[in-house]
Each structure stands twice: as structure tokens, then as C-alpha cells.
Structure 1
Amino acid sequence: MTVPLPVVFIHGLWLHSSSWQPWIGLFREKGYAASAPRWPDDPDTVEAARRDPESVAGRGIDDVVDHYAALIEDLPVRPVVIGHSFGGTIAQKPLGQDRAAAAVAIDAAQIKGVLPLPLSALKATFPVFRNPANRRRSVSLTAKQFRFAFGNAVTEEESAALHARWTVPAPGKPLFEAASAIFSLHSPAKVDTMNSGRGPLLLVSGGKDHTVPQVVTRATLKQYRHSEAVTDFIDFPDRGHSLTIDGGWREVADTVLTWLRQRSPETGR
């Protein structure tokens, strides 16, 4: 009996894991064993997360990586790992460690070695960086802040609806860790980009993304230039940071599915 290939979805900051539900349904329909585990200490629902914002305070990249590593260890075979934003950063870690069959990083936050820091990214993350104490706290986005950071490529009405449905408080620590990665030899944002024996990686960029502009994703692609493993780049020029949850999510998901079928025999369906 063939074991369905697991697909692990990893959310980023300010979105709840349940925001992956449409993707989970689609991938299960296509024969994958899809799931979207929460970050450590994330409450079960959006509503519960909003009621207890400090439940995730102080959690950093290593906490999240270790959490997903333990979950992956319990799977019957190496999974495909798909992450958005900081989830895209996290997804690259098990791939580089040969714990994943393939990975997809969608509008992934900066890994160590990625230097561009566009003004729009600074503005999008200002709600965290405006107060150094936020390293130990959780931070929420207002509808206006979400509009700039996530929903700038959709209508104002859709952005407001997405904010109301999916946003949750997020720990500030991962952003501080990514920002200081250049100064830390053992930064938690460091990824093994040299591994030539790893599975394939797809980097996805939204051309209108304010939070992770395309220049950041292209700089991430450059970090993999010394690896002989497959590293692909796909751009959605008219999409912003909300591309996994807004009305155009299906186009992105179908593109990822097509890439999986084409790029890796282990992930073929």
C-alpha cells in the first residue's frame, strides 16, 4: 500500500494556521496527506489567539524550527514543506537538513546572507521594530497596517475582510533575529544553502509585495547559487503578501502543484 506523501504547511507572522484550509482541501483532493500544524503555543482558533495575545510572546525562529522538526520526525516519509512569509524561511531549514523531500517558500522572509532591506519592508515591519521591547512581546496589526503589509494588491474591502478573518498577534522575536542575522555567526535565520543533495526548492514571489519585495526573494535565490540541487523561482507580478489567502490563492496553489509534479519523482502525482 502506497503511503500518501505528507505536505506540511507552515504559516508566517500574523496569520493563523487555519488560513491554509483551502490549500489543505485542494492538496488532499490531489492525493497528498496535507496538514497545517500551528506554531508552538499558538491557540486553536483565530478568536482564541486574539483573546490571549501573549501566548506566543518570546517565541523565536529556533523554537518554531524545532517544533516542526519534531512533527516531521513522526511522519512515515519525508514531507513536502510549504511555507509563507516566515513560514517560508522555516520551510528552507528542514530541506537543507535533508528532512524534507521538497520545499516551497512563498514570499519568504530573509535568511542569513540576504542583505536587501527595501523601504517598504521597513514600513511593513515598523509595528514591531518601533519598540525594542517588542522582541519579548507579541504584536498585532491594525487593518490599516495589514492593508500596507499584506493587502495592497487587493481591494480595500477584501483587505479588510482578510484582516478580520485571519489575523492574529505574532511574536516580535523572529523579526529581530532576521534583522540581526548578519552580525551573528550562528543566527537562527541561517539555512544550509550549499547542500547539493537536497530535494528541489521553489521560491515564489509576489511582484507587488511590500513586506517581502521581489528583490529579497531574488537575493535569496542567489544564496543557493553554489548548490547543484534544483532551485526554481516563480513570480506573480501583480500579487502582494496576501497571495496565499486572497481571492487569487488558487492560481498560486495550482502553480505549486504543477511544479511538484514536474520537479520531483518523489513528489509526483
Structure 2
Amino acid sequence: MSEKVIVFLHGTNATSWTLDPIRHFFEAEGYTCHSPVYRFHDLPEGEERTQALKGVSIADYVADIAAFIETLEQKPIVIGHSLGGLIGQLLSARELIEAGVLINSSIINGTVPTTEMERALGKMFMSAGPFWEDVPGQDFDLLAAYGLNTMPVEQQHDICDRLGTESGQVLFELFFWMYDVNQTTRIDFTRATAPLLFLSGSEDKVVPPTTAKTMADRYGTRATFIEVPGRCHYMQLEEGREKLAQHCLEWIRAL
């Protein structure tokens, strides 16, 4: 068989640039890499993007990536960050991937917050009105506290300035899976048999290790969970990310 193919899946409010450092590492190692962008995320900020993103679901992103994967000659490995990690799990349940590396994956249906900061974030969304009908952007203070908290302030601003708006429906499905009538993030564990590597930054406040571990444990021996010391939610952009990429490479080579 030819060299393994890797598909990189980005998180909310982002595009593929958030995984470029890891992709460049794997390309240098000779891997064929693809970085698809979720629908409408390549549109510039403005009314067209806002109207296009309203009501868009995680299920739409999964359908788009599934269609892309079906154009490939072999099942790929996915490396997903945040929402991309969740989408990787949903693709596994559709038997479309060989394996998945999940960097601070967003939670799946049935995963309960384990920290007060997670619960506070949920309460904040509750107080924001019907955000699922809107297309929220990034709040710097919130992002700095939850997702970029181990980075220098200058880098925090740089990342926040490059992130965009996101479908409120997507955020609703992420944070309030218990009220989602479509159960969008529910995993069929009888079909999700691909090996998964869960990488969890010890300082991630969005999906802290205590929560990520409960999610990984639901896969039993199919999942490997590793807590990465001193790293935040966007750890693939932090200084020293080469070590993180090397760890991913070693796990993939051992498959």
C-alpha cells in the first residue's frame, strides 16, 4: 500500500491555518496531506458569510468531509483539533477513517463537564439569548482565558484576530447536546472501531483532561489517552509543537 494519507480537520471559527505547523511537519516526513475547510469558512467576514453560516450544523461539516474522503484512494488518518477531533470521531463511527489523532477534541454526546470553568462557560452561553440563531464571533478575553491561557499575550491577540465567526447552531450542538433533537454528536460505538489517540493539554480550560479522559474511556482499548503537560487548547500552535508532532508521528508509525 502507498504511504498513509492524512486529512487535517480544524476547529470552530477557524480554517486550516490552525493546523499548518503539524501539516508541514508531516509533509516533510513524506506524507500526503489534505486540509479541507468546512463550508463557508473560506468566505471573508461580512453579510454573505453571516447569512451562509446561519443554521449550519456539525452534520453538514461531517457530510462535506465524508464526501471528500470518498474521493481518496484509501481510508485516511485524520488529525483533528477541537471540533475537528469531534468530527474525526463521527467519521470513525461511519467507518471512513483508518485512525484518528484528536488534539483537545470537542466533547461528544454524553460527555459531562467535570470542572467549574466548563460549567461557567455553559452558563455564559445560556445567558446569551438564542445564540443558535446567530453567527457568533470570538471574544478575546474569553478565548485568552479558556483556549490560549498558556501563550504570550501578543500571540493570543494574533490568533484571535485570525479567527472568524461560527454557526451558532454548531456551538449549540457542541455545548448543549442534551437538548439537540437530532443528537448530532452521538457516537455509535459499535461502528467506531478505528484506533484513536486523544491528546489533552493539561491547561486546556475548554475541554480539560478530566473531561477528555471520560470521553476517551468510552472507547475502551481502542483509545489511547495522553495528557500533555503545560499546554492549552491550541497547543499545536505553541512553542515546542515539534515535540507534539513527533509524538503523533510515532503513534501513527506504530499502527
Q: Report 1:1-269 matches (<5 A).
A: 3-43=2-42, 48-49=44-45, 53-54=49-50, 55-124=52-121, 128-164=125-161, 166-183=162-179, 186-195=182-191, 198-225=193-220, 230-262=222-254, 264=255
The amino acid across from 2:81 in the alignment is: H
Aligned counterparts of 2:123 and 2:241: Cα–Cα separation in 1: 26
> Hey, what's the Cα distance between the residues in 2 that align with 1:17 and 1:127?
28
Structure 1 gaps of 5+ residues are: 265-269
Secondary structure at the counterpart of residue 224 of structure 2: strand
Alignment partners' CA distance in 2, 1:193 and 1:118: 25
Identity of counterpart residues, as a percentage? 24
> How has the CA–CA distance of structure 1 residues 17 and 155 changed in structure 2, closer, same or farther, with 3 Å as cutoff?
same
Of the structure 1 ranges 116-125 and 75-84, higher mean CA displacement relative to structure 2 is found in 116-125
Structure 2 match to 1:267: none
Supply the distance in 2 between the matched residues of 1:170 and 1:184 (Cα, whole angstroms).
Answer: 18
Consecutive unaligned residues of structure 2, counting only runs of 5 or more, are none
Q: CA deviation at 1:49?
A: 3.9
Please report how far the alpha carbon of residue 181 of structure 1 lies from its aligned counterpart in structure 2 after TM superposition: 2.5
Cα deviation for residue 247 of structure 1 reads 2.2
What's the offset of the Cα at 1:125?
5.9
Alpha-carbon offset, residue 186 of structure 1: 4.9
Change (3 A) 1:104 1:205: same
Give the SS at the match of 2:108: coil
Structure 1 residues 30, 241: closer, same or farther in 2, change over 3 A? same
Secondary structure in 2 aligned to 1:244?
A: helix
Is the Cα contact below 8 Å between 2:14 and 2:41 reproduced in 1?
Answer: no
What do residues 56-115 of structure 1 show as CA deviations (whole Å, max 9, x unaligned)?
Answer: 232111111111110011111000011111111001111122210101111111101212
- Aligned pair count? 254
Counterpart-to-counterpart distance in 2, 1:49 and 1:19: 18
Equivalent-residue separation in structure 2 for 1:50 and 1:127 (angstroms): 25
- Tell me: CA distance 1:131–1:53, structure 2 relative to 1, closer, same or farther (3 Å): farther
Deviations 1:29-70 (A, max 9, x none): 1121112110111116xxx24685514232111111111110
In the alignment, the residues of structure 2 paired with residue 64 and residue 248 of structure 1 have an alpha-carbon distance, to the nearest angstrom, of 30
User: What is the TM-score of this pair, normalised by structure 2?
Assistant: 0.90
Pairwise CA distance, 1:183: 5.0
Deviates more, 1:173-182 or 1:231-240: 173-182
